[in-house]
């Protein structure tokens, strides 16, 4: 039979289907090995999970070996070929495994008849999760393609298997946990109080009105309570609710994968594994059999799990608190009948102290109305993700909001930053009128032109910033002339593990195909600062904005960088490929990155894989050091791109996420404007294209200055394109250049501000 490993690599739907075929944790892992063995046409497939405490690998599931050996076979890190693969974090392939001096014979598991051996480590970031092993009686049965396929499969399964591993840890905690937990009382803002207005910070535009649902990580919200007056449901009612909840989550996962193929990454896998875990649903059923009312049984088990998760020393278990609460809420809702049985968040405004990117994705998939985030939990990528998903969001500093009664009506204006608790009928009418007015404005603004010119005929290209593939239709509808900045980190940030080369390739290719013949500029991975990966080993940096981020991270972790570059080069085959490196601080940063691109091109050539042979490589100018050497960078790079937001931050030494000093973040500071002019001049002298990405590119006061210093490519969010076009069309480029010349001679912020407003200079 022919191996169809390529099908398995990319078939996310089949991986989601593994949940449908399984009834619990053990059954799920057994289904995994069976499916992988079938697709790889291998006699044996086994999963070994790594126990951090004992530093041992434990055989957890197998197809082909003695099933009685499950849970009994244990290998030290580095022991045998399997242990060696995990210790050295590399695949091991042997034509005849027993000939390798590291091979360890284990009597009783019936592996002596198998010759060919292939093991790949299962990693979450760089942390060890386990090993996926294939064996077959035919010598030299596995080849290089099989190795790559198994690596891709391991990467796809890593997050789900890690969740399974977390459940095993939870079971061990439960065994040690003393029976009974004290219930925590809530301190809430009563819903019957009069209207309260809170002035916040706008994070994502839009209007949202709905009933509050606090999901703070404090003890106040650890308890899922049944409502008073609930009917006396039966065990059969519970089983129907359980089956309905499972079906909802499976359908939700499939729906998300269809709509958000680049970032979905089985984000509801933890929900499904917990729900199917016999110690979760089984414990509920046991309580019901003992005579505990169904709703109380659900609440009691959910409370226990939330308490265990929330008080764990394992940060990954703590991340699952909201998943458990969501399952409890769904089960209780599905016990009822009527419209609410859909268990979505329609009509809800989420109140939270902290949200992970994956939380934003899950809430969006469940039709949440809007988000109110208490200050301290804001990071730029969370706000960017909310904007990409068109979720209204406001940031507030009033922590009492975390204790608002559930179902209290909240109204938020994500454009102005206003939040109302218990809004009056007049406020609600005003919100509805504001919603209608903005819809009319958006419809009017969508009358955009294919090309943009100033009044005196200067061509200005208006491109868009893209975070997710779901934004492409809006970009095309609003006549984006291309993608000036694709933030490639978003598939990394919202996932539970590094996407494989194959997964990245598919995302990049879809973006290129979606944009047709329009240019797409890919920014390589930009993490660090306020954009952290939950699955990457946490480094305690005193100032992460000055730490291991962006190109520094990529150069330090070359294997991750190479995977991304290979995926980009493959996706860009027979297209005009543009790759730019973020946070370049020196010419050496750029040339080292360029050398790695060339090395990836050579490896693809040797492997006979089609790739782009002439990619355009650019440098992002975001640091004062890059401004100082911009002449040398312009001579080396194919193009330059100014990252305005970071450039302001680093020029002025102002953390742009720190609300306490937000007033010091002044984009029109004379030093910033002179740096922008210097970069534009250097690019022009060397005949290099230069673009501008950042908030200034959509600022009506700053656009004339940017055009005046010679910037002819602006990259903004898609919805801002019509407004930017209108402003550019109203300009006379020659007059803008003269005004920019006068502004560049000013040394005081207030003088520049008056000149930009048109009242001076």
Catalytic residue set:
381, 693
User: How many residues would you count in the chain?
Assistant: 761
Residue 710 near residue 658, CB atoms below 8 Å: no
Q: For strand 92-94 and strand 116-124, is the pairing parallel, antiparallel, or unpaired?
A: antiparallel
Q: For strand 348-352 and strand 116-124, is the pairing parallel, antiparallel, or unpaired?
A: unpaired
Those residues whose C-beta lies under 8 Å from the C-beta of residue 367, and which sit 6 or more positions away, are: 344, 345, 346
Which of 80, 141, 144, 146 lies closest to 115, judged by CA? Answer: 141
Helix (H) or strand (E) holding 56: strand 56-63
381-to-100, 484, 641 alpha-carbon distances in Å: 47, 18, 20
Q: Give all strands of the β-sheet with 348-352 in edge-to-edge order.
A: 196-199, 418-421, 409-413, 207-214, 348-352, 370-374, 393-396, 201-204
**What tokens were used for 22?**
């399984």
Residue 80 near residue 117, CB atoms below 8 Å: no
Rounded to whole angstroms, the Cα distance separating 93 from 105 reads: 17
**What tokens were used for 304?**
């226990």
**What tokens were used for 467?**
């975070």
Backbone Cα Rg of the chain: 28
Residue 61 near residue 46, CB atoms below 8 Å: yes
Helix (H) or strand (E) holding 16: helix 12-20
Q: Which residues pair with 197 in a beta bridge?
A: 420
Rounded to whole angstroms, the Cα distance separating 260 from 244 reads: 24
What number of other Cβ atoms are within 10 A of residue 5's Cβ?
19
SS3 359: helix
Q: What are phi and psi of 391, to 5 degrees?
A: -100, 115
101-to-117, 134, 377 alpha-carbon distances in Å: 14, 19, 52
Helix (H) or strand (E) holding 395: strand 393-396
Cα dihedral sign, 197-202-205-211: negative
Residue 414 near residue 439, CB atoms below 8 Å: no
Rounded to whole angstroms, the Cα distance separating 55 from 53 reads: 6
Rounded to whole angstroms, the Cα distance separating 674 from 36 reads: 59
Rounded to whole angstroms, the Cα distance separating 621 from 681 reads: 13
Rounded to whole angstroms, the Cα distance separating 579 from 575 reads: 12
Rounded to whole angstroms, the Cα distance separating 250 from 257 reads: 11
Residue 678 near residue 631, CB atoms below 8 Å: no
Q: Residue 538 has what DSSP assignment?
A: P
Rounded to whole angstroms, the Cα distance separating 664 from 653 reads: 9
Inter-axis angle of helices 235-259 and 269-276, nearest 10: 160
CA dihedral 415, 416, 420, 423 (to 10 degrees): -80
**What tokens were used for 63?**
């197809």
SS3 341: helix
Rounded to whole angstroms, the Cα distance separating 398 from 388 reads: 26
Rounded to whole angstroms, the Cα distance separating 100 from 118 reads: 12
Map tokens 């000149």 to a residue.
755
């Amino acid at each position: 039979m022919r191996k169809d490993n390529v099908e398995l690599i990319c078939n996310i739907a089949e991986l989601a289907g593994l949940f449908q075929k399984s009834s619990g944790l053990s059954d799920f892992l057994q289904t995994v090995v069976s499916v992988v063995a079938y697709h790889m046409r291998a006699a044996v497939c086994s999963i070994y999970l790594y126990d951090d405490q004992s530093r041992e690998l434990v055989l957890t599931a197998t197809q082909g070996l003695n099933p009685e050996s499950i849970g009994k076979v244990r290998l030290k890190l580095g022991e045998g070929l399997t242990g060696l693969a995990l210790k050295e974090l590399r695949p091991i392939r042997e034509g005849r495994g027993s000939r390798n001096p590291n091979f360890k014979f284990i009597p009783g598991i019936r592996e002596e008849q198998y010759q060919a051996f292939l093991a790949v480590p299962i990693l979450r970031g760089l942390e060890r999760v386990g090993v996926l092993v294939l064996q077959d009686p035919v010598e030299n049965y596995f080849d290089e393609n099989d190795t790559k396929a198994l690596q891709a499969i391991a990467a796809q399964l890593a997050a789900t298997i890690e969740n399974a591993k977390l459940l095993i840890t939870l079971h061990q905690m439960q065994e040690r946990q003393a029976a009974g937990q004290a219930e925590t009382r809530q301190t809430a803002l009563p819903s019957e109080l009069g209207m309260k207005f809170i002035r916040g910070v706008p994070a994502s535009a839009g209007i949202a009105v709905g009933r509050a649902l606090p999901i703070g990580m404090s003890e106040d919200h650890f308890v899922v309570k049944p409502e008073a007056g609930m009917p006396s449901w039966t065990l059969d009612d519970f089983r129907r609710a359980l089956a309905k909840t499972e079906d909802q989550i499976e359908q939700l996962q499939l729906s998300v994968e269809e709509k958000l193929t680049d970032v979905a990454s089985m984000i509801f896998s933890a929900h499904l594994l917990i729900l199917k875990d016999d110690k979760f649903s089984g414990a509920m059923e046991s309580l019901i059999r003992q005579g505990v009312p169904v709703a109380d049984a659900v609440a009691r088990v959910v409370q226990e799990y939330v308490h265990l998760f929330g008080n764990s020393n394992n940060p990954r278990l703590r991340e699952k608190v909201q998943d458990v609460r969501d399952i409890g809420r769904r089960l209780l809702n599905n016990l009822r009948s009527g419209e609410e049985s859909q268990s979505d968040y329609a009509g809800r405004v989420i109140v939270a102290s902290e949200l992970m990117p994956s939380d934003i994705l899950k809430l969006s998939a469940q039709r949440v109305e809007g988000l109110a985030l208490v200050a301290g939990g804001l990071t730029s990528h969370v706000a960017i993700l909310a904007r990409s998903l068109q979720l209204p969001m406001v940031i507030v500093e009033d922590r009492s909001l975390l204790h608002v009664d559930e179902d209290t009506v909240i109204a938020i204006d994500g454009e102005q930053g206003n939040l109302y608790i218990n809004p009056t009928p007049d406020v609600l009418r005003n919100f509805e009128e504001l919603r209608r007015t903005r819809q009319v404005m958006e419809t009017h603004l969508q009358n955009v032109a294919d090309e943009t010119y100033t009044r005196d005929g200067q061509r200005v290209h208006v491109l868009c910033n893209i975070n997710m593939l779901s934004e492409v239709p809006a970009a095309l509808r609003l006549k984006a002339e291309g993608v000036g900045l694709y933030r490639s980190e978003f598939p990394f940030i919202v996932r539970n593990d590094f996407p494989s080369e194959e997964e990245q390739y598919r995302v990049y290719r879809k973006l290129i195909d979606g944009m047709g013949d329009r240019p797409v500029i890919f920014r390589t991975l930009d993490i660090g600062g306020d954009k952290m990966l939950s699955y990457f080993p946490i480094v305690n940096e005193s100032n992460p904005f000055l730490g291991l981020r962006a190109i520094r991270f990529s150069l330090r972790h070359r294997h991750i960088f190479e995977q991304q570059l290979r995926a980009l080069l493959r996706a860009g085959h027979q297209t005009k490929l543009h790759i730019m490196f973020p946070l370049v601080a020196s010419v050496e940063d750029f040339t080292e990155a360029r050398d790695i691109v060339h090395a990836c091109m050579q490896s693809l050539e040797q492997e006979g894989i089609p790739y782009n042979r002439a990619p355009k490589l650019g440098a992002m100018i975001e640091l004062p050091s890059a401004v100082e050497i911009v002449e040398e960078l312009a001579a080396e790079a194919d193009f330059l791109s100014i990252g305005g937001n970071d450039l302001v931050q680093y020029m002025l030494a102002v953390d742009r996420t720190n609300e306490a000093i937000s007033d010091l973040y002044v984009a029109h500071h004379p030093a910033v404007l002179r740096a922008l002019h210097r970069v534009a001049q250097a690019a022009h002298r060397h005949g290099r294209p230069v673009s501008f990405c950042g908030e200034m590119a959509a600022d009506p006061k700053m656009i004339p200055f940017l055009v005046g210093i010679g910037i002819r490519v602006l990259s903004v969010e898609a919805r801002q394109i019509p407004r930017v076009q209108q402003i550019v069309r109203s300009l006379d480029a020659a007059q803008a250049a003269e005004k920019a010349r006068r502004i560049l001679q000013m040394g005081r912020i207030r003088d520049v501000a008056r000149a930009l407003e048109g009242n001076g200079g």
